[in-house]
Amino acid sequence: MLLSDVLRERNLPALTDRETMLEILQREIYGTLPPKPDKVTFDVERDTIPRFCGGKTYLHRVTVHCTLGKKAFSFPFFAAMHDDGQCRPFFIHINFRDCVPDRYMPTEELTDNGYNVLSFCYTDVASDDGDFTTGLAGVFFPDGKRKPTDAGKIALWAWAAQRVMDWAETQSDALDMRRGIVCGHSRLGKTALFTAATDTRFAIGYSNDSGCSGAALARGTSGETVRDICRNFPFWFCERYLQYVDNEPNMPFDQHFLIASIAPRYAMVGSAAQDTWADPLSEQLACLAAAPAFPNGFVCPDRPAQPGEAFLSGDVGYHLRHGRHCFTRDDWHRLMQFVELHR
């Protein structure tokens, strides 16, 4: 099987300029990213766990306070930071839990490899359901009702990740703003790609097993479809997305637009061989289809990846590991390799 032949059979819309692709993605799938707050301030509770990681790093709890017109919204995140005067690359991890470390985030291993790690729990921002009256959703949609192109939950979680980046900008002596990486798994991998696509402050967007409506092409998928995801999680998206249920050929986009919108920065996609619902082949094909948007494209053989392989030398990276749907240490190691190759 040649990837180039399979890609031609998918009959994808041609890439266009970044601004046009982002307008389409927001109008047709994720909804319009809410505006930046009028004011953002931060409260920092320093060194919340004494001798964190054996005293090698400090763990701070930061609360973000946002003013939006006459309304206010706050949420917390954690920052695992070195305090040695060095300016380091950093991850902003959109996580399922507020635990530090976490089973999806080996914090000590990441900091031992020279990174600072900022993380927040996505449900501290907006609930993972159809309720648009609470949390950040309640700020923008007080009656819980949305217009067809208004933000879904993915866009709200991305908005919060960008507020964490606002704090990072205040720490430029410790956080290397040229090497900020946003990452997430599954639905939060979709969110990480959308975050990086809409905010050029991020150097790298990393999606782990994000599948349908994330890094996997919708056309020709053998995994989750638009029908499947809209039946179970319509609130992740804008309401217009439902018109593409069983209607993928008429989408004016596919998921290569999302990856391509990160150009000319860097994007990386991680897949798992047994995660057939996310369709690893369609994720690799999306990387290939997005490649023309990047100066150094996607460098891989003209065939599907084998489990254990990684293609990291281009501006778009991809790896396929053994195993199932999970954010593992293997994924973090591949991501760190990609970051080091693109310092």
Active site residues: 186, 325
| Token pair for 9 | 């059979």
- 73 with 66: CB under 8 angstroms? yes
Residue 343 pLDDT: 86
Distance of alpha carbon 192 from alpha carbon 43, whole angstroms: 25
CA distance readout (Å), 21 to 79, 194, 297 = 33, 12, 18
Angle between helices 153-169 and 187-198 (to 10 degrees): 60
Q: By CB neighbour count within 10 A (0-12 exposed, 13-18 middle, 19+ buried), where does 76 fall?
A: middle
Distance of alpha carbon 258 from alpha carbon 293, whole angstroms: 11
Residue 168 pLDDT: 98
- 210 with 186: CB under 8 angstroms? yes
Phi, psi of 310 (to 5 degrees): -140, 135
Closest CA to 113 of 184, 173, 53, 183: 53
Distance of alpha carbon 229 from alpha carbon 226, whole angstroms: 5
Which residues does 337 contact at the CB level (< 8 Å), separation at least 6?
310, 312
Residue 32 pLDDT: 98
Distance of alpha carbon 287 from alpha carbon 293, whole angstroms: 10
Three-state secondary-structure class, residue 50 = coil
Neighbours of 52 (CB within 10 A): 20
Average pLDDT per block of 10 residues along the chain, 343 residues long: 95 98 98 97 94 92 97 98 94 98 97 98 98 97 96 98 98 96 98 98 98 98 98 98 98 98 98 98 98 98 98 98 98 98 93
Three-state secondary-structure class, residue 65 = strand
Phi, psi of 183 (to 5 degrees): -145, 155
Residue 105 pLDDT: 98
Report CA torsion sign: 49, 50, 55, 57.
positive
Closest CA to 134 of 150, 121, 153: 153
Q: Left, alpha or beta for 180 (phi > 0: left; psi -120 to 50: alpha)?
A: beta
The domains of the chain, with CATH numbers, are 3-34+86-118+149-341 (3.40.50.1820)
